[in-house]
Amino acid sequence: MKPRFSTIFFILFIILCAWISLPQKLSIPIPFSSKKDHRVTVGSPVISIPFFGKKIERTFETKLGLDLLGGAQLVFDADVSKLPIQDRDAALLSARDIIERRVNFFGVSEPSIRIQKVGASSRITVELPGVEDAAEATALIGQTAQVDFRELSDPNEKIATDTPIFMQLQKKTDLKGDDIKRAVAQFSQQDGQPVVLLELLAREVKKFGEITARNIGKPVGIFLDGAPLLTPTVQQEIRDQAVISGGFTLDEAKSLAIAINSGALPVPIKLIEKRTIGPTLGGEQVAASMVAGFVGLLGVMSFYAFILRSFFGVIAVVALTLYGIISYALFKIIPVVLTLSGLAGFILSIGMAVDSNILIFERIKEELKKGKSLQVATTYGFARAMDAIKDANSTTLLVSFILFNPFNWSFLPQFGLIKGFAVTLAIGVATSLFTGVIITRRLLEWFVIGSSKKV
């Protein structure tokens, strides 16, 4: 990458992160304006993309967890004792997906739905930030899943290529999920690929034959809770059993079979805990925490400048500020649901960012004492500090991975608060590596090495 192009890219990247980090709406008074109380409103960007006559909008909001926003927490015990051992994990995943679909239909923002294994028990924990009526949410999650089959409203209607197929399948047929005897995942005898075999109840074979006969060469959609599950194209009239193929993996075929089999959830669930949680921090406490954090950051920056006692201190303060902007922008882009434990992880990662810059600048000062030029000292300083920085940060990233426990191993923590801490810590450490290695060096090239060359 050419120096001039990389500089432009760097500046645009910082501007974009700063823009995303802004609140949704921020009213700023304009000083010396002729109009009384003249203000300008700015805020984080809103991305709007047209999609088949509709607009898909993406906003960058700060997502708050239960402890900051409040909401409902539901814990369900899933009974998988009657399922074969090899099918239990797939059934739990299918149940979680169905619950998530229903929760999203309920209109909850950023729900957290996790599978937890406690000894021999399997539990599904549902956290719904901003939900005050836990009873209504419980009723929605526990309702029976509705499977139905849909076709084109007009059999002679042509399929529109510019509109998703599932949006054109509006007419419900007489065939319901209860009419399916069972769905089984197996391998095709023709090509050996995983497929799903549908066996119908004897009384519904004729009905299924009529539906497939009038839709040869056209799609028939399988919908679960009103959402499209699959839209296979009918190849021929079917009177006994249907084979659904679509380039599935074996796990995908098993999950699809379980979902179709679920006249109810794939596994019986029982509510064992329900509570409505208020925000553990009130508005005044949150504001006080923000003030404390700001004062603490200023203290770190002042200590930074005092320890380094040179223009390096100014560079370090600027790099730390950019680190905070980039990290917060990433929290909003991903997005990360911020909790108290997550904020603690972010604060800890600030210390890692401070350590990286101090190591780099102390190494550079050592090289300068040996009589080397600033440019050579910077090159050697970064190279010799990098081993210590990589060791420290890679160890912290490994700890974050273990705490997050992405594979839900039973011998590791599975609690949401710990995972929130791990996510923000990992993002903060990765960002500190980027700012320490890339941004700090670029700032040195601009302000220190560049100015010394001019002199």
Q: Distance between the two ends of the chain, CA-based, in angstroms?
A: 27
Residue 241 forms beta bridges with which residues?
Answer: 199
Alpha-carbon distance 443 to 427, whole Å? 22
* CA 52 and chain centroid, separation: 25
Which pLDDT value is given to residue 151? 87
pTM, full prediction = 0.62
Residue of 93, 41, 401, 98 whose CA lies nearest to 227: 98
Cβ contact 21:328 at 8 Å: yes
- The one-letter code for the residue type at 17 is C
- Sketch out the chain's domains with CATH numbers: 3-59 (no CATH), 71-145+269-277 (3.30.70.3400), 147-261 (3.30.1360.200), 283-454 (1.20.1640.10)
The ranges of the chain with pLDDT < 50 are: 454-455
Count Cα neighbours of 215 within 13 Å in the Cβ-side half-sphere: 25
Quick one: pLDDT at residue 32? Answer: 56
* Site of tokens 């009103």: 226
Residues in a beta bridge with 277? 71
Q: Locate tokens 């047209």: which residue?
A: 50
pLDDT digit string (tens) for 226-241?
777 778 888 888 776 7
Instruction: Return d(Cα 413, Cα 410) in angstroms, integer.
Output: 7
| Alpha carbons 243 and 223: distance in angstroms, whole number | 17
Q: What is the pLDDT of residue 253?
A: 81
> According to the model, what pLDDT value does residue 397 have?
92
Q: How many residues make up the chain in this entry?
A: 455
Q: What is the pLDDT of residue 286?
A: 60
pLDDT value at position 40? 63
Nearest C-alpha neighbor of 439 from the set 294, 328, 301, 325: 325
Separation between Cα atoms, residue 363 and residue 455, nearest integer Å: 24
Tens-digit pLDDT profile for residues 112-151: 788 888 778 889 888 887 776 777 677 667 655 567 788 8
Cα distance between residue 292 and residue 210, in whole Å: 70
pLDDT at 455: 36
Cβ 423 vs Cβ 348: under 8 Å:
no
